[in-house]
């Protein structure tokens, strides 16, 4: 009796189960108002990552120059998240492990380490 190589492997996409990553690929260029300008900017000036990196760098310097207490709590939290992202990008570039993104993730990581290494 012959065997079949048929493999049933359906892709099921439940509501809200799709990718949550942003498309930063060349296909994004074709959604731009002027694709040719977008292509030239990416080739001749800077990638999206470099553009966002420079904006983040400047924004963090501006925030650092503000007097303490000028930002509301929500903005302070968002700036903190941006700092963690910038630090994690630096760590990835230097082939280091990234930091937790939130305080909850940091606490969970510490708890895991304490379970693994009870003496610390």
As for how many domains the chain has, the answer is 1
Task: Please tell me the distance from the alpha carbon of residue 48 to that of residue 93, in angstroms, as a whole number.
Answer: 16
Is 25 contained in some domain?
no
Is 43 contained in some domain?
no
Is 39 contained in some domain?
no
Res 67 pLDDT > 90: yes
pLDDT of residue 97: 86
Is 20 contained in some domain?
no
Per-residue pLDDT tens digits for 68-107: 899 999 999 999 999 999 999 998 998 988 888 888 989 9
Range of the domain at 85: 66-120
Element (H, E) at 109: helix 103-116
Is 45 contained in some domain?
no
The whole-chain average pLDDT of the chain stands at 82
Is 53 contained in some domain?
no
Q: How many CB atoms within 10 Å of residue 54?
A: 11
Res 116 pLDDT > 60: yes
What pTM does this model have?
A: 0.61
Enter the tokens of residue 99.
């930091």
Q: What is the average pLDDT across 45-60?
A: 93
Q: What is the average pLDDT across 32-43?
A: 85
Is 111 contained in some domain?
yes
Res 20 pLDDT > 90: no
Is 52 contained in some domain?
no
């Amino acid at each position: 009796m012959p065997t079949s190589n048929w493999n049933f492997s359906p892709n099921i996409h439940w509501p809200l189960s799709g990718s949550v990553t942003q498309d930063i690929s060349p296909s994004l260029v074709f959604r731009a108002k002027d694709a040719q300008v977008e292509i030239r900017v990416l080739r001749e000036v800077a990638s999206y990552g470099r553009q966002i990196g420079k904006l983040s760098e400047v924004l963090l310097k501006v925030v650092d120059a503000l007097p303490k207490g000028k930002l509301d709590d929500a903005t302070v939290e968002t700036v903190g998240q941006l700092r963690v992202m910038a630090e994690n990008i630096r760590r990835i570039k230097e082939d280091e492990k990234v930091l937790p993104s939130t305080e909850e993730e940091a606490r969970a990581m510490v708890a895991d380490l304490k379970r693994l290494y009870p003496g610390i």
